[in-house]
Amino acid sequence: MTRSVQVISMRTWGELGNLLAGRTLAATLAAGLDDAEVTVVEAETIFPQFAEAGAAIRELVAARLPAEEVRAGYLRLMADFTDRLPAGLDDDPLPAATVDRLAPVADHFARTKPDLVIGTKGVISRLSHAALRIADLPTPVVNYVTNEGLLRLPVHRAPQLPVHLVQFDRARDYLVREHGYRPERVVPVGRLLAQAQAAQVFEGAAGIEDADAVGTADPALTAAGTRILILSNRGGREYLAALERIARAHPKAALVFIAYNNPALAAEAAELLTALGLSAWQTFDRLAQGDYLRYLAWLHAADAPLFISKTGPNSMLEGLYFGIPQLLVRSGLPMEEWVGPFLAEHGVGQGFDRMEELVEVAVRWVGDPDELPGRRRRATALARTLLDPDRARRQTVAAVAAVLDGVPLRIDEEELCSPE
């Protein structure tokens, strides 16, 4: 008998990162569970208030405010969103008013009757757990945590849920130590990487393993031992200044500049590179996800690679999987505050409050023949222990299968996802 698994993710909170995590999880489970039909449901379609909050988040990030203002603004939005959630969401029994407000979500579950629901944010899991009780369904809910920074936000905390799958054992330790989660309910399963599921998930994903299939035959990109990728995602002219400084200091390197969804910035970057005599360097305003992963493979093939962007955990971990040293500018989003310290802790990169500080280090690292290769070796070693995709697939599928079968979760100490 085929069992139904619903993975519920946000489209509007972040740059599709949560939806991407849901799709990656769904592809993994579909391949690993023989008797399960796995579907991805966008949370906004069953609870429109998520979309309202997502629009406010996007507006805040698009304003390109200083990091501290972004942080304060996001925390205000989350506090306001929390206040407007149905009252007593985690209570048993649920208040009558909450039952009324969650009726559309309960109707969705009553109609589709899933055997398992997986929420890719704590607030999704909390809301799904309440709605399933309203629908009088015994369906278990798995809270699948894709960004450990979210665990520090009260809206996503849900110790009453039966199962939490986190990436690393450090996240499990935090929940057990700081918030009283029951140890047997929190399982570190590793990080499911988009690269590992690229063919099933991404547009333009064929041939990702070909490091030089990067849309060019120019040897300036494919032969250079030092390769740099700058990703400006909702960034501004500070990224253009960084490009110019690096170009003037290290013209023999190979560099790709992505001004995501900003054609004007990409065009200005191209004009600058032409003026500097570096027209072989490439600029884009958009890449299919598969093409972006090919550029990470292109970086991986270099002796001295460097990735420069903001402190997004998804791009950081994907880059780390490829063994790439990283210099990241702080975004201000509170759930990303752990990213820079994490890189520094393991000697594979740094986070910065200001782009000017980042560029000073980038110029120095690229000019030192030992700096980037040494950090590349450390990043590669860390990726082998922390980001083993086969282990993550095994652990994730095994944990979900145990919940479906109603058997106790098992934590394999030899499989714990730890960098040590």
Cα dihedral sign, 43-44-50-51: positive
H-state helical runs in 310-370:
313-321, 339-345, 355-367
What three-state secondary structure class fits 342? helix
Q: From its phi and psi, is residue 316 left (phi > 0), alpha (psi between -120 and 50) or beta?
A: alpha
Strands (E), 87-153: 116-119, 141-144
Q: How far apart are CA 39 and CA 36, in angstroms?
A: 10
- What's the pLDDT at 202? 37
- What's the pLDDT at 416? 47
pLDDT tens for 227-271 read 999 999 888 899 999 999 999 999 999 999 999 889 999 999 999
Cβ proximity of 88 and 102 under 8 Å? no
The tens-digit pLDDT sequence of the chain (420 residues) is 899 999 999 999 877 788 989 999 999 999 999 999 999 999 999 999 999 999 999 999 888 889 999 999 999 999 999 999 999 999 989 999 999 999 999 999 999 999 999 999 999 999 999 999 999 999 999 999 988 999 999 999 999 999 999 999 889 999 999 999 999 999 999 988 765 444 333 344 344 445 555 544 466 677 788 999 999 988 889 999 999 999 999 999 999 999 988 999 999 999 999 999 998 899 999 887 778 888 888 999 999 999 999 998 888 988 998 999 999 999 999 999 999 999 999 999 999 999 999 999 999 999 999 999 999 999 999 888 888 888 999 999 999 999 999 988 776 655 544 444
Provide the whole-model pTM. 0.86
pLDDT tens for 192-238 read 876 544 433 334 434 444 555 554 446 667 778 899 999 998 888 99
Closest CA to 239 of 206, 274, 198, 269: 269
- For residue 93, say if its preceding peptide bond is cis, omega within 30 degrees of 0: yes
Cβ proximity of 231 and 315 under 8 Å? yes
